[in-house]
Structure 1
Amino acid sequence: MNSVATSGAPDMQELFPYADGPRLASAAPDTGSIQLSWQNGDTTQLPWLWLRDHCACAECRHPQTRERLYIPLAPIADAPEMNVIDGHLRLTWADGHRSVFHGGWLHQRRPEVALPNVLPEASAWRDHFTPERIEHAAFLTEKGEQAWLTAILRDGLALLTDGPLVEEEVSRLAEKIGPQRATNFGARFDVRSKPNPNNAAYTAVGLALHIDLPNWHHPPDIQLLYCLQNGASGGESLFADGVRVVEALRAQDPSALRTLSETPIDFRFQDETHDIAVRAPLIDLNADGSLRELRFNNWIRDTLHLPVEQMNAWYHAYRTLWALFHSDEHQLEFTLEPGQMVAFDNRRVLHGRRAFDPNSGPRHLQGTYLDRDMLESRLRVLARQLH
C-alpha cells in the first residue's frame, strides 16, 4: 500500500493517499492568490486565505484527531513569502506563521477537478437486472466486502450467499460495517408469523411493495434480511427499483410525479406503546430531479388530509405509480434460500413478498438496519487500505 506522505515530505493530516501526485514545479504571486504549476503541466490558482485555512501544522490541525483548529475569520492582507522546495510549497505569512503543503495533496485538491470519491453513482436497474451475489466467505475478505458495499450503493440491492445457518449472523455481518440502527422493533428483529402481530410482516399474508418505516423523519437506510429457514410454500421475495420507476413515471405522467413529489401527506404507526408520525411527500427529489428517497407504504399511510380539490389528482398519481411498481416490467422476484442474506436500500428499493402457508413448513428470517453513512465510511476506509 502506498504511504500517505513519503518520508521527509509534508504530512497533510489526510488519510486518503496523495503522495503519488506530481511534484510542484513553481509558485508565483497574483492578486490575493498564488499561481501554482506542476511538473506534469497542470496549473491552478489558490487564494491566500484558502491556503492559510488549510495549513496542516500542529497549531492549525489537531495532531491526533486531524480536526481543524484554525478559524478563517481575519482577511489576509499581505502576500506570504513563498518557495517550492523538493516539489512542495512552503509559505511564511506576515505574522511569521509557516505553512508547508505537499505538492501531491495540492494537486489532488485543485478547484478545477472533483475531490477523490470512491463511492459509486446510483445506477437504475436495466431490463433483466440480476443482483450481484457475494459468497459469505468472500464477504469476510476486504475485497469481497468492498464488492458487496459497492453493489449496495450502486444498485440498491445485493445478495450474500452460502452463509451459516446460525442465529444472529445478520448482526455479526452488520457490525462489520457499523452499529445496527434501532427502531421501535428493536435493533435486530425476527420475521415470521406470530400471534397478535403489530406489523403485517409478522403474518403470513402477502406484502405489497413498500419501504419500511416511512413514518419516521429519517427512515432506515439499509435493510439486511438473513434467511435461516424457508420451507414454507410461497413467500417469494419481491423488489423494485425506485430510481427506475420514478424515471418511468416522469416519462409517462410528469404531472403525477409533480403531485407526488410536491404534496406532503401523513404517515403513521401506532400501537399500545408507540405513535410515530411524519408528514412528507411520497417522493423526494434532489435539486437535479433525481430520486433522493421514497415513502411508499400503503399500510402506514394515515388519513389523506388535503384540500378537497387536490385529492383526486393525488389518488390518480398514486394509482399510476402503484401500477408502475407492480408491473412485471419493474418487479424482481426470487426465493430467498437458507444461508442467503439480501441487503437493499430501504429508501430507494421497494420490497415485498408473496403470501405463504405457515402450515407447510418453517419460515424464519432475521433482519436489521444500517445507516448509509456507515456503508459509505466503510467503503472509503477499504479504498484506503486496498490502495
Structure 2
Amino acid sequence: MRAVISRALPRAAAAAVGASSLAPHTLAPQGLRYAASGGEGIDVASACSATWLTPRRGFATNEFIAQERLDLGAEPLGLLGMDIQTRDYISLKWTDGRISRFHLMHLRSWCLCPECQHETGQRLVNSSDIDPDLEIEDIFIKGSTVNIVWAGSGHKSSFPWSWLRENCYSGATLDQNAKDLTTTMLLPSAPVPMSEYAEVMDTEDDQGLFGLLHQIVENGLAVVQNTPSEKGQVKKIAERIAPVSHSFLYGDIFDVVAEQNPVNIAYTTHHLKHHLDLAYYESPPGFQFLHALRFDETVQGGESTFVDVFAVAQEFRRLHPKHFETFCRVPATFKKHHLNRSNPAIMEYQRPHIQLNHRDEVIAVHWSPPFEGPLKVPFDDVKPYYEAYKIFHDIVEGGKFQVEFKLKQGDTVIFNQRRVLHGRNQFTADSNGVRHLQGTYINIDDAHCRFNALRHRFAVDDPSIKNRRVANGNFA
C-alpha cells in the first residue's frame, strides 16, 4: 500500500504542529508524516482539506523566514509551505510566490548524500535502480534544508533550499535559468576587445585570463597584443586556457602562409569567404587562435574579417522564415577528401546549417562553403535548399555584420569560431613581403569549463555572465 498522501492537511492540523505527540493514523503503515524541525510531527494520513501546510515551526512562517533566508538576488527568499495533496510529487511554495514541484522519483535520484554522490560529483545511484513506486516515510524541514526519509530503506535525503531553487523545473525557473547568447553582437561599429599578453600569461593572477575569456564569451572574439614574435607562442597562449585540440589533420600548430603546394586554400594568397573551420568534424573546434608572427608592411591586403553568424541567423529568420525552416531541416554535407597529402583525409558529416533547441532558439550554426560536399537529400529538398543557401550567403557576405581589421605583428586574435565566422581579404606582396600567422584550436567545452571555473573562483555570479551560451549546440 502506498503511503504517499493525495490529500492536503486541514488547517486545524497544520496549526497543531508543535504538539509534543500525535498518534499515527492507521492508514499510514509507514508512519508518513510531516515533521517539524524539532522532531515533532503530524500524521498526514488523515489530511482532508487545506492546500498548504504552513505550521508555526518547522515550515516557513514569517517568523521562521526571518531566521532562515535564501539569498537568490536582491530579495532574500524563504519557504512558505508544502503541498502534499498529490501522489507522485511534492510542491514547495516560496515567499516570492513561485511554486516548485518535484517528483519523488527525481528527488530520490538526486539525493546529495555521500552514499549517492561521490565527492568528485559523480553519481553512485542509477535512476533505473530506484523503485518507481517509492514512498515517503517522513518529511521535515531543519534549518534551510528539506529532509526526506524514504519508506522501506530508511534512506535519508537532505536538499538545501539553494539546491531546490537552482534545480527547480517549473516553467518560470527554467525560463529564468535558460542560457542565452550575449546581446553584444559583433558589429562593425563596436571596438575590438583588447588584452595584454603579459596580463593573460600571468600565472600568479588569473584575472587577466578571466578578463580575456569574458571578452570572448561576451563578444565572440578578442585580440591579445604584444605577443612575442616567436614560433610556438600561439600554443602557449592557448594552453593557458586548455590543451590544444583537433590536431589530427594539421598538427598542434598550423602555419598560415602562402605555399606553392598548399594542403588548404588558407595557405594561399586568395580571398577567403567567411566560414567555420573543420565543419566536417562531429564537434568542430571551439576557440581558434591566430598569431601574427610576421606581417610585413609591404603586404597589401590580407585583412582579417569576421561575421557573427548568430546575428546573420537572426536576420535570416526575421526576413525569410520559410527559407530559415529549410536551413533547420535539410542536412548539408561537410566534407574533407584530400588523399594527396602526408596525412590522407577522408571525412564527411551531415547536419542542417542551423540547429534549434526545444524552445525554438538557435543554438548552433554551421556555415563552411569551402568544405561542403554534394547534397544527399530527397529530390524535393534540393531546390528549396539552394534558394535558402543563396539568401543566407548574401547576408553573410553582404557586409552588414562584417568586422574587418588588419593584424599587426605581435597580435593574436582569438575567436569562438562556433559563433564567429572568419575570412580574409586577398593579399599581395613584393618578393620580400611575408604574411605569416600561426594558429591552433582548443575545444569549446574545455574553454567554457575554464571560464566557468574562473568565474566561480572570482565569485562572479551575475546571471548575465553565468547564463551565457557559447554556440556549441547546448540545449540549455
Q: TM-score, normalised by structure 2?
A: 0.68
- Within 5 Å, which residues of 2 pair with 1:188-337? 188-231=253-296, 232-272=299-339, 273-304=344-375, 311-337=382-408
- 1:131 aligns with 192
CA distance in 1, matches of 2:320, 2:70: 51
State the AA in 1 paired with 2:200: F
Q: Which amino acid aligns with 2:411?
A: Q
Secondary structure of the residue aligned to 1:80 is strand
In structure 1, the partner of 2:245 is 181
| Post-superposition offset of 1:37 | 5.9
Q: Per-residue CA shift, 1:182-227, capped at 9, x if unaligned?
A: 2411232111112311111111222122221222333222211121
SS at match of 2:157: strand
Distance 2:310 2:236 in 1: 30
Determine which of 148, 164, 183 is the counterpart of 1:91. Answer: 148
Check the 8 A contact 1:82/1:89 in 2, yes or no: yes
Q: Structure 1: how far apart are the matches of 2:438 and 2:330?
A: 35
Shift in Å, 1:46: 3.4
Cα distance change, pair 228–119 in 1 and its aligned pair in 2 (3 A)? farther
Match of 2:64 in 1: none
2: CA distance between counterparts of 1:77 and 1:299?
Answer: 56
Distance 1:384 1:335, change over 3 A: same
In 2, Cα distance between equivalents of 1:327 and 1:179:
36
Moved more, 99-108 or 35-44: 35-44
Give the residue type in structure 2 aligned to 1:180.
Answer: V
Residue 60 of structure 1: which of 110, 113, 116 is its match? 116
Deviation at 1:74, TM superposition (A): 0.6
Partners of 2:71 and 2:456 in 1: CA distance: 13
Deviations 1:108-140 (CA, angstroms, capped at 9, x unpaired):
333342499697624334562333222223334
Residue type matched to 2:374 in 1? T
Alignment of 1:349-360 (within 5 A): 349-358=420-429, 359-360=431-432
Greater relative CO, 1 or 2 (CA 8 Å, sep 6+): 1
* Distance in structure 2 (CA, Å) of the matches to 1:121 and 1:203: 34
Long gaps (5+) in structure 2 = 1-68, 460-476
Q: Pairwise mapping of residues 87-166 of structure 1 onto structure 2 (< 5 A)?
A: 87-94=144-151, 95-112=153-170, 113-114=173-174, 121-123=181-183, 124-126=185-187, 128-140=189-201, 141-166=205-230
Q: Letter of the aligned partner of 1:250 in structure 2? A: R
Task: Tell whether 2:137 aligns with 1:80.
Answer: yes
* 1:3 matched residue in structure 2: none
Structure 1 pair 106/198, CA: closer, same or farther in 2 (3 Å)? same
- Are the aligned partners of 1:120 and 1:150 in contact in 2 as well (CA < 8 Å)? no
The one of 407, 411, 415 aligned to 1:340: 411
The question of whether the paired residues in 2 share the 8 Å contact of 1:23 and 1:104 is answered with: no
Q: Which amino acid aligns with 1:248?
A: E
- In 1: Cα distance, 2:280 partner to 2:101 partner: 48
What one-letter code is carried by the residue in structure 2 that aligns with 1:298? P
TM superposition shift of 1:383: 1.9
- 2:448 paired residue number: 376
CA distance in 1, matches of 2:349, 2:379: 21
Structure 2 contact 136–149 (Cα < 8 Å) conserved: no
CA contact (8 A) 2:105 2:134 kept: no
Distance 1:298 1:281 in 2: 13
How many residues of Structure 1 are paired with residues of Structure 2 in the alignment? 369
Give the superposition deviation at 1:360.
4.8
Mean alpha-carbon deviation: is it higher for 316-325 or for 184-193?
316-325
Is 2:433 aligned against 1:361?
yes
Query: Could you list the per-position Cα deviations for residues 21-52 of structure 1 after superposition, in whole angstroms to 9, with x for gaps in the alignment?
Result: 66767667554444546688876443433332
| Distance in 2 between residues matched to 1:199 and 1:288, nearest whole Å | 38
Distance 1:251 1:39 in 2: 40
Please tell me whether the aligned partners of residues 24 and 104 of structure 1 are also in contact (alpha carbons under 8 angstroms).
Answer: no
CA contact (8 A) 1:27 1:84 kept: no
Query: CA offset at residue 81 of structure 1?
Result: 2.1
Q: CA RMSD in A?
A: 3.2
Distance in 1 separating the partners of 2:427 and 2:306: 17
Q: Distance in 1 between matches of 2:80 and 2:318?
A: 51
Task: Return closer, same or farther for 1:197/1:50 CA change in 2, 3 Å cut-off.
Answer: same
CA–CA distance in 2 between the matches of 1:138 and 1:120? 29
User: Does the CA-based 8 Å contact 1:149-1:379 persist in structure 2?
Assistant: yes
CA displacement at 1:355 relative to structure 2: 1.6
Moved more, 135-144 or 177-186: 135-144
Pick closer, same or farther for the CA change 1:92–1:215 going to 2, 3 Å.
closer
1:42-99 CA-to-partner distances (Å, cap 9, x unmatched) read 764434333322222221112x322111233213543232333333333333322223
In structure 2, the residue matched to 1:49 is: 105
Q: Which deviations, in whole Å up to 9, do the C-alpha atoms of 1:245-273 show, x marking residues without a partner?
A: 22222333333333433333333222221
**What is the distance in 2 between the residues matched to 1:38 and 1:306?**
51
Contact 2:186 2:403 in 1 (8 A): no
